[in-house]
Amino acid sequence: MVNKRTVTELSLFAGLIVSMHVAYYTIQNNPSLVAPHQRQELFYVRWLKEKIPALRPYGVTDDKTPKADQ
């Protein structure tokens, strides 16, 4: 049985995960902090985008410009 404490703990955990994602993607999408060619997705977000194509427009978008070392 799920009690009020369990719901509260799960809600706080979900809030922590969401806030960590918001902070990560805010940093990744700020060109003064991360150069556009160095941006990257979290590993499980890449996996989710491969499995669910509808998620591809969200998060860090792929930059099609060639890198300097290529």
- SS3 string of the chain? CCCHHHHHHHHHHHHHHHHHHHHHHHHHCCCCCCCHHHCCCCHHHHHHHHHCHHHCCCCCCCCCCCCCCC
User: How many domains does the chain fold into?
Assistant: 1
**Average pLDDT value for the chain:** 86
Determine, yes or no, domain membership for 49. Answer: yes
Determine, yes or no, domain membership for 18. Answer: yes
Determine, yes or no, domain membership for 69. Answer: no
Mean pLDDT of 15-32: 92
pLDDT at 67 over 90: no
pLDDT at 69 over 80: no
pLDDT at 34 over 60: yes
Domain region containing 8:
4-55
Determine, yes or no, domain membership for 67. Answer: no
